[in-house]
Chains A and B, each alone.
Chain A
Amino acid sequence: MRPDRRVAPWLFLAPGLVVFSVAVLLPMVLTVGFSFTEWNGFGAMTFVGLDNYVRAFHDTFLRASFLHVIVYIAATLVLEVLVGLCLAGLVSMRRGRLWFRVAIFTPVMLPMVVVAVLWAFVYNPDFGLLNGALEAMGLAGLQRIWLGDPSVALLAISVVSGWVYAGFYMMIFYAAFRQVPSDIIEAARLDGAGEWSIFRRVKVPMIRGAVGVAVLLCVTGGFQGFDLFFVMTNGGPYGSTEIPTTLLVRTVFRHADVGYGSAMAVVLTAVVVTCGLAYAQLQVRRTRGAAR
């Protein structure tokens, strides 16, 4: 007996839908629900309406955390995407350099917690590699308490993020560069363009789509950043590396303020989704503009 043609697709979809509903949809709905309550996660739940959102709106710590994450994203756009793009340009010029690609990509494969611990040692002001190297090079004046100085801690974490993800974006761009027709590059070369001009005026414009995806990934990924911050500075020093995710975890899991934490989670999600949609809309307009 054959199942009804209208039912059959749903039968195939059902297992996935069930898993999606239980693992993704339900927690999201519950989080929204919790955001209207005052609840410590265990005892009685009190409905407080929009109080948590009003509190979030006036919360200077939350505002500061968003500012920090925006600075972090701006830094990672340079240290991850731009550096990745430049590395991909270099690699695509020298196609045989497999070891180079592997070396640059390797940090992506490391667990972020391992990376964070590793770099915490590098940055350690008392016996860390960085300050030691600066001293050995006669640059002791540049030594810093890297993760203890609010003026450099956020940048220090951004550098680690760049160290990890530049290789990831390099691979994206490298794959995109491989799709650029070689006859166009040859034509440019015949016209007398050097490698830098080919990179800047031919290759990069032709992988605009990949660059767009990379920027979107970097921005949304920046909002989701957590591991490096949690392990390396735990939001410090003096709150200078507190980002929404670390603040959220502290609020929910340390201060047991599930209601307010849920409201923060909803706000954070709304910001990320808005950024993503706005950027996608911008890309669509550009594509349409280019098509005309």
Chain B
Amino acid sequence: MRTHHRGRAVIAALSVAALAVASSVSGAVAQDRTLRIAMGSPGEAGIRVWEAIGAQFEAANPGVTVDIEFMDDDLYQTIGLPQLLASPNAPDIYFEWTGSRMAQRAADGYAADLTEAVASGPLAGLLDDELFAAATLDGKIVLFPHTADVTNVLWYNVPLFAEHGLTPPTTFEELLAVCDAFVAADIIPIATGNKDLWAAGNWLSHMASRVVGEDVYDATLAAGGPFNTPEWEQAFGYIAQLREHSCVNESANAIADNEGAQLFFQGSAAMHPIGSWLVSWAIDEAPDLEFDFVNLPAMPEGSAGDQGSAIGVETGYMVNANSQVQDLAVEFLALMNSPENVKAYVAAEIVPLARSVADAGVDGRSLRLGELLAGAPAVVLPPDTGYDLEMANALYAAEAAVLGGQATPAAALAALDQQLAR
């Protein structure tokens, strides 16, 4: 079995194209039975699980080679995957987010129809039926769900809250009061590392969706504006209030997401808004930290959105419609979701959606995150995976400007519209 790890450097992206062209010559000559899989990096523990599953598959299918490409997440999300799909040795299975990205792959002709395999083939009965709603396009299942990431909740340090006689906030007003209390105690209320804009961007976008309403949020982001409206100004006004109450670390826009997390891990900050991946991360980096989460606190009266909404996205694997080994690809997806391999994923802090996960000893917080997403009355998509990336970056930048006190809500929104219009 072959595995590949790619660095962050942009040059690596060019290498993908160059290597793909070069290897096409040999690929054309040897009609091997290679199953190629592409994804962002699942972390060291996750990689070991994937490699083990690849070895199992090769052992069960003599003459088949499993070739797994682990690419830097950012690279994969931007040009990495399209480069691979356009190459002669395109992946047979590839990781994708549901939403606009999945639809784009289908529109580009890279999505095999998995409906039959799910209905009566090797993939039947592995997942609950409702999970396929987000994976279905025009009545066809085009993605086999694997995990569901809650993109943002408010993690909090349990002992710090207890020490100061505070309870986790459930409303925006309570959040501001908690901020005031922690500021008075010389503790950073909320730590975030927003240098790359998405970390606080997802949190603040979820907040905005609660204020403007899910429909307006979806319509505005899908159309790329206009944002300079009273609803959005009201939403951005709450971001300004977070700043006025010194809720967020002053360094927010200067430090990376992992540095923001470190402030939380070290107990310098009481809360940290980030996604479900914090569980495994915190267990590794701060094994003694007692932490838990609440969903985004409800926004004040007059907000148009559902105050129980969650922000998150289902992710999974698509089978390339151009693959010559689609049968093998479907069998591999089934093997991934066998009870033994689901347990292996869970041990690596990856929580699959497979039915057998209930018996796999998942961390209680991860289970509750899954329940939060499954039971949410509305689920909003993160801007950077659910919508156009350039628009998402512009929105994140506008939110960061307000959070950092660099612009008023009105000015930030006007600049955002201006940027999107260029």
Which residues in A have some Cβ–Cβ distance to B below 8 Å? 40-43, 55, 58-61, 120, 123-126, 145-150, 153, 233-234, 236-239, 249-250, 253-257
Q: Contact between A148 and B422 (Cβ–Cβ < 8 Å)?
A: no
Closest A residue to B80 by beta carbon equals: A253
In the assembled complex, 15 residue pairs joining A and B whose CB atoms fall closer than 8 Å, in A order, are A41-B83, A43-B108, A58-B422, A59-B422, A125-B254, A148-B250, A150-B406, A234-B196, A236-B197, A250-B393, A254-B389, A254-B393, A255-B390, A256-B78, A257-B390
CB neighbours (8 Å) of B250 from chain A are 125, 145, 148
Given contacts A41-B83, A148-B404, 11 further A-B contacts (CB under 8 A): A40-B82, A55-B422, A61-B419, A124-B251, A125-B255, A147-B254, A148-B253, A149-B254, A236-B253, A239-B397, A255-B390
CB neighbours (8 Å) of A149 from chain B are 254
Q: Contact between A42 and B83 (Cβ–Cβ < 8 Å)?
A: yes
Which residues in B have some Cβ–Cβ distance to A below 8 Å? 10, 13, 78-79, 82-83, 85-86, 108, 195-197, 249-256, 259, 263, 268, 389-390, 393, 397, 400-401, 404, 406-407, 419, 422
Closest B residue to A258 by beta carbon equals: B79
Q: Contact between A237 and B251 (Cβ–Cβ < 8 Å)?
A: no
Q: Contact between B253 and A249 (Cβ–Cβ < 8 Å)?
A: no
Least distance between B75 CB and chain A CB atoms (Å): 8
- Secondary structure at the B interface, as helix, strand, loop or mixed, is helix
CB neighbours (8 Å) of A123 from chain B are 254
CB neighbours (8 Å) of A126 from chain B are 249, 251, 255, 259, 263, 268
Partner of A238, one of B10, B13, B393, B404: B404
Q: Contact between B78 and A238 (Cβ–Cβ < 8 Å)?
A: no
Among A145, A150, A233, A250, find the residue whose CB has the most chain B CB atoms closer than 10 A: A145
Complex Cα spacing A120 to B79, Å? 27
Closest B residue to A146 by beta carbon equals: B254
CB neighbours (8 Å) of B252 from chain A are 148
Among all A-B residue pairs, the 7 with the closest Cβ atoms: A148-B254, A125-B251, A255-B390, A147-B254, A42-B82, A237-B253, A238-B406
Least distance between B37 CB and chain A CB atoms (Å): 20
Least distance between B215 CB and chain A CB atoms (Å): 26
Q: Contact between A124 and B255 (Cβ–Cβ < 8 Å)?
A: yes
Q: Contact between B390 and A238 (Cβ–Cβ < 8 Å)?
A: no
Q: Contact between A145 and B254 (Cβ–Cβ < 8 Å)?
A: yes
Q: Contact between A256 and B404 (Cβ–Cβ < 8 Å)?
A: no
Partner of B251, one of A59, A148, A153, A239: A148
Complex Cα spacing A145 to B248, Å? 14
Least distance between A136 CB and chain B CB atoms (Å): 19
Least distance between A39 CB and chain B CB atoms (Å): 12
Least distance between B416 CB and chain A CB atoms (Å): 12
Complex Cα spacing A40 to B86, Å? 12
Q: Contact between B13 and A253 (Cβ–Cβ < 8 Å)?
A: yes
Least distance between B156 CB and chain A CB atoms (Å): 19
Among A61, A123, A146, A236, find the residue whose CB has the most chain B CB atoms closer than 10 A: A236
Closest A residue to B390 by beta carbon equals: A255
CB neighbours (8 Å) of A233 from chain B are 195, 254
Given A55-B422, A61-B419, are A237 and B255 also a contact pair (CB < 8 Å)?
no
Complex Cα spacing A124 to B266, Å? 15
Complex Cα spacing A149 to B404, Å? 9
Q: Contact between A145 and B251 (Cβ–Cβ < 8 Å)?
A: yes
CB neighbours (8 Å) of B254 from chain A are 123, 125, 145-149, 153, 233, 236-237
CB neighbours (8 Å) of B393 from chain A are 250, 254-255
Partner of A253, one of B10, B259, B263, B422: B10
